[in-house]
Structure 1
Amino acid sequence: MSIELHHVDTGGDGVPLVVIHGLFGSADNWRSHVKSWQQRYRVIAVDLRNHGSSPHVEGMGYADMAEDVIRLLDSLDIPRAHLLGHSMGGKVVISLANLAPERVASLIVADIAPVAYGHGHDAVFAALHRVKEGRPANRREADALLAEHVDEKPTRLFLATNLVRGEQGNLELRVGLDEIQADYDSIMGLPAGDGPFQGPTLVLRGEHSHYVSDERMPDVRQALPEAELVTLQAGHWLHAEQPEAFRQAVDDFLARQAV
């Protein structure tokens, strides 16, 4: 069942650039990039199901999430778009390209490979549940609760972007934590569709990230045979760690497409 996704649309002409966040992210994480890109493109930043301001529903399968995005494109009368996805969002855009390649002008996949990964978010789930139960009054209290399970300050700051002020005045999670955790296996699994996607593709990876290691490149080449590879001096959050280099790589790639 597809749903109506919350999104930010800058407006403008030409083939749009659709930006899709990763696990526990939202369109808000891409605000500075959208501000830059909107000078050249119509940009649409999406909140996936159970993230940001989009509805909370059961199921985190990639076919369903891709269908959500297709429904959004339909509602905006967009026949084709450039699709950019980071991490889980990268698997969403690969899935959409596999299932509906005619809707994809080009594909930009940021630090994810089309493979199944092992579980690696137990501490994050525990930290978010601690915040949910603790009902912190402010962000200092929320950070202390997150720190009981997550040592890294940058990770805690990222997770804290999911906090909003509730009706009772306490900070609450806007992310659909239970729905995400219930179908976590799907998130860590393979993209939907058979592929390969034969269209123009850019794969960006962080040199200090394990997600797109050299050992996984054969899987990337099989699923995305036209992929250009750019490696940035960053970890998994390459768009946040190297924002200018990330934007430049995207701009250079899009400049070679029929925008």
Structure 2
Amino acid sequence: MLNVLTHGDPSHPKLLIAHGLYGSARNWGVIAKRLSDQYFVVCPDMRNHGASPWHDTHNYFDLADDLAELLDQPTFVVGHSMGGKAAMVLALKYPHLINKLVVADIAPVTYTHSQTQHIDAMRAVDLSGVERRSQAGESLDPEVRDFLLQSLDVKEKRWTLNLDVLEAEMPKIVGFPDLDGAFEGPTLFLSGADSDYVTRDYRTVIKDLFPASRFAKLPGAGHWLHAQKPREFEAALRAFLT
């Protein structure tokens, strides 16, 4: 069972938020707390991340099954990047568990880029003498430094990421599995206007799998749209979910 952080009253409608690669439930704390006025927000650490169990596999069927274990009724589901792909597979495999689906800045396609350079950078950090997160960030990519450092346990001198498995499974993470059928429920593909993760060329395959999908972009935001434009992201979620 995944480690989860919850916010709000359990009697409210449930909202599940699935984070992206190298992320954690903590990344969503501010938005989750603000949304907890209307929803019971459940933020899991995905497998091989945070305080959740480590496994030898990291594919979207497994990630979707992990999320399904947290749901016992139709639920609002939001997923960003890797979490968005997991949420899409969840909706395609278990449509009865989804009320509405929001996919943040990702498409159900295979991308050509890899994210292993961040694994190399994290491995290269000598954690033995690190007393503060800022010390470990000197050699990390400035664009994602603060984000990656949230997965550093300074006290234990370790990353809370299963770097070996994430590296081995990277082709599956940047890919997307072949699935039959479609999710007919309301779906919003919410993207950063400055991001190239969801292009018009992908809309055909999106519509095949999610025929009721709608599209929106947040001006001034890139791939990390929820961190770059948190209030606008929150407003878009509220408008769609209600």
Same fold (TM over 0.5): yes
Tell me which of 194, 208, 219 is aligned to 2:205: 219
Q: Percent identity, please.
A: 37
Counterpart in the other structure of 2:147: 158
Counterpart in the other structure of 2:63: 65
Q: Deviations over 1:89-132 (max 9, x none)?
A: 00001000110101111110000000011132132121111126
1:35-184 paired onto structure 2 within 5 Å: 35-73=33-71, 78-131=72-125, 136-146=130-140, 150=141, 153-167=142-156, 171-184=157-170
**Coordinate RMSD, CA, aligned:** 1.6
Q: What is the TM-score of this pair, normalised by structure 1?
A: 0.88
Does the CA contact (< 8 Å) of 1:99 and 1:192 recur in 2? no
Answer yes or no: is 1:193 the counterpart of 2:218.
no
Distance 1:59 1:132, change over 3 A: farther
Counterpart in the other structure of 2:222: 235
Distance 1:174 1:217, change over 3 A: same
Tell me which of 15, 18, 30 is aligned to 1:20: 18
SS of 2:11's equivalent in the other structure is coil
Deviates more, 1:234-243 or 1:126-135: 126-135
* Cα distance in 2 for residues equivalent to 1:134 and 1:143: 14
Runs of 5+ consecutive residues of structure 2 not aligned to the other structure: none
Counterpart in the other structure of 2:2: 5
Which amino acid in the other structure matches residue 224 of structure 2? W
What's the offset of the Cα at 1:195? 3.2
What's the offset of the Cα at 1:36? 0.5
Counterpart in the other structure of 1:244: 231
Runs of 5+ consecutive residues of structure 1 not aligned to the other structure: none
Which amino acid in the other structure matches residue 120 of structure 1? S
Q: What is the TM-score of this pair, normalised by structure 2?
A: 0.94
Q: Deviations over 1:149-193 (max 9, x none)?
A: x2xx231111111111234xxx32011111111111111111463
SS of 1:230's equivalent in the other structure is strand
Structure with a larger share of its residues in helix = 1
Which amino acid in the other structure matches residue 234 of structure 2? R
Distance 1:198 1:244, change over 3 A: same
Distance 1:12 1:133, change over 3 A: closer
Which amino acid in the other structure matches residue 11 of structure 2? D
* Cα distance in 2 for residues equivalent to 1:134 and 1:24: 21
Counterpart in the other structure of 1:29: 27
Which amino acid in the other structure matches residue 239 of structure 1? H
- Moved beyond 3 Å, runs of 4+: 132-135
* Cα distance in 1 for residues equivalent to 2:234 and 2:48: 27
What's the offset of the Cα at 1:55? 0.8
